[in-house]
Amino acid sequence: MAIYHFSCTTISRGKGQSAIASAAYRSGERLYSERYGETKFYARETQPETFILKPDHAPEWCLNREYLWNGVEEVEKANNSQLAREINIALPIELSKEEQLALTKEYVQKNFVDEGMVADVFIHRDNENNPHFHVMLTMRPFDKNGNWRSKSKRIILKDEESNTLYYPSGDKKSRKQRTTDWDSKDKLNLWRKNWADITNKYLERNGFSERISEKSHAELGIEKEPTIHEGYVARQMEKEGKISDRCQQNRERTKRNYDKQSERKEYVEKEAKKSISSGLAPKEKQQLKSVAKNLKIYVSYDNLMDKQRMVNNWERAVNVNSQIQPDQNFNDTFNKIKEARESISMGKDILEKQFTRIYEKYYPELNEKYTYSTYYKMAIAEETLKQDRVLSAQEIGQVLSEAQDNELNYMLTTIMKNPYVQPVHEYQKKLFHVTNELNGFLDERGITKELISQLSVDDQKVYRQLHNTQNIQVRSLEILEKYFDNTICSYFPNANTTELSIKQKEALSQTIDYYGNRMSYEKLVDLANEKAVNKYSTTEQKIGLSFIYKLETNSFTEEEWNKIEKDYELKEIYDTISDPKMRGYFLNEVKENGLDVPQEYMTQSNGFLMSFLANNLNVFNNLINANEQNKRRELEDLRNKRKSKKQNSRKQKSKKSKQKEQTTNI
């Protein structure tokens, strides 16, 4: 099924990135960096299909990847220079490789090259179910003689009589003006739309009914569907056991809102995992374990452990109830608890012990020769049990290949569920310190990175540890930024995230994740102006506090669990307070509202980071436009639905009229 995925970001020296390293990684080629005096190479299992397209007036050396990006590194002097714009786009799997290539070339030529950019394109097919391409674009244009032009120019300000304006210091007043519109929100939106249009043209030409749309995310940006006023009579009917239409409508709307928010979160996690994993080299996939640890996330048997915790809570609650109600028979309930506990224990035993024993027994040579992770050993043992025989070397290779993908997916899923464990500035601080330590290490020994092999074995080990730590911090920030981008675009599909710093993205992302479908642009503005904005009413906040107490004391009853499961308003509150990354924001909201919060809970409280957005007109203009486009799309969808409904109604009337005529004639 064709999917729409279009993400845009910048490759910046300020983020510790290099144009040469980025191109080498995406192309799988060895490229020498003149700026850093080192060769960059990242081996890829499946060699990408690559090509470069340039405008007619750009010099011929642009068609050489190494010359092109060394040229960019040379012309961009500043330490925080933006080196390239990168766009990542999913290709329709319905098309053949030849058609995918033709589609990519036509789109890149018309949208970027004809505009004056040099485009370095990399088609990745590592996963046959996820073909996609990356395109690195130059940030500054060439003049007609093939020389780099400036990204911006200085405009001297003048008054109404054309007199030059001056500052009190005597300097001329001026403003900066971009020489191109490549950074504009309108241009990004046009690129997004054009990709959908040209892809649909290719799909139609090749006989496929599938279509994609840049509007497909808009449903995820619709605000919470408002509930209707129930009134005293309706609520009284419900209390008497009768079903009120108005209360029933509200229950249905609440369920739709809950489902919509759940779908948005699933979409964000799926897109973030896809955009991260598609860009990982084999070596980086291995490094992801260290990244997860750096993000304070540890691999565990989450499902089993969650079930075990639930069973423990269940057992405590039943024990209390059996003491309160000694006359009631709880034997059946205790038997169910025992069965559940035995099932979990058996599952853990198989996963942690039996699989390892099977592996060690039937694959002693592998066990001696390789230090596979427990996850890999379990994968081999599980397949051995399925096949009921010892696996061949080829089969083991296949199992390990699949296990690597599954483990990667598991790791990414775990990371995506815990993106706010630490604020971004903590990772930036670590990166700053380790970079200084690494530079100091090299300066003390008077050498560069290229001469590391001349150091003693111990010094080389220290260098590798520092270098690895630096890479982990960089990768951690990249993964978090991908998650933030996807969260923002799930709510504001046309927001230009390239204009935001990672701290601003973090602030927006956590706000959207917390408020969910109760989010609105007006609330966002109030938050940025440091006004208190509640997600929940005072009554809901009190319910949330009682839920926290019951969770902390394991005092939920089975009846209460069932009630939460059926009531989607309670379910939303429970989801918030049971999520470690959201509970702190909830407690902060409760405290701001003036309710008493137990002191032991306040260690879990943390405020929002919206100060990073305050007084930033560019950010708010960006979101205003994105918000308006969301509303236009909603209105357009609504009109289309009404139009379709009217057409169907006319068809039904026409059909009934014809049937009536036929009956009369008979």
Residues 197 and 346 in one domain: no
Strand partners for 82: 12
pTM (2 decimals)? 0.44
DSSP annotation string for 68-134: HHHHHHHH--STT-EEEEEEEEEPPTTS-HHHHHHHHHHHHIIIIITTT--EEEEEE-SSTT--EEE
**CA 458 to CA 533: how far, in whole Å?**
55
Question: Among 38-52, 330-344, 502-516, which range has the highest average pLDDT?
Answer: 38-52
Instruction: Please indicate, yes or no, whether residues 197 and 336 belong to a single structural domain of this protein.
Output: no
- Binned at pLDDT 50, 70 and 90, residue 61 comes out as very high
What mean pLDDT do residues 111-125 have? 95
> What pLDDT, on a 0 to 100 scale, did the predictor assign at position 177?
72
Domain assignment present for 293: no
Q: Which of 47-51, 110-114, 361-365 has the lowest mean pLDDT?
A: 361-365
The residue range of the domain holding 362 is 298-416
Least confident of 151-160, 497-506, 615-624: 615-624
Identity of the amino acid at 448: T
Query: Which CATH number fits the domain that encloses residue 45?
Result: 3.30.930.30
Residues 65 and 202 in one domain: yes
Domain count, the chain: 2
Cα distance between residue 197 and residue 189, in whole Å: 12
pLDDT-wise least confident of 175-189, 245-259, 649-663:
245-259
Give the chain's mean pLDDT.
74
Query: Is 123 domain-assigned?
Result: yes
Contact 95, 103 (CB under 8 A): yes
Flag whether 315 is in a domain.
Answer: yes
Q: Is the pLDDT score of 99 beyond 90?
A: yes
pLDDT tens digit sequence for 590-611: 888 888 888 777 655 555 555 5
Last residue of a domain, one of 356, 386, 416: 416
Tokens matching residue 656? 């009934």
Query: 509 lies in a domain?
Result: no
> 525-545: per-residue pLDDT in tens?
666 666 667 888 888 889 999
CA dist., res. 588 & res. 582, Å (int)? 10
87 found inside a domain: yes
Last residue of a domain, one of 379, 395, 416: 416
Residue 456, domain member (yes or no) = no
Looking at the structure, tell me whether residues 52 and 193 fall in a common domain.
yes
Cβ atoms of residues 87 and 191 within 8 Å: yes
Same domain, 303 and 411: yes
Of 482, 490, 620, nearest to 218 by C-alpha is 490
Among 239, 57, 12, CA closest to 149: 57
What pLDDT, on the 0 to 100 scale, is given for residue 351? 52
Length reported for the chain: 666
- Please give the pLDDT value at position 155: 75
Of 416, 446, 461, which residue sits at a domain end?
416
DSSP per residue, 238-280: HHTTPPPHHHHHHHHHHHHHHHHHHHHHHHHHHHHHHHHHTT-
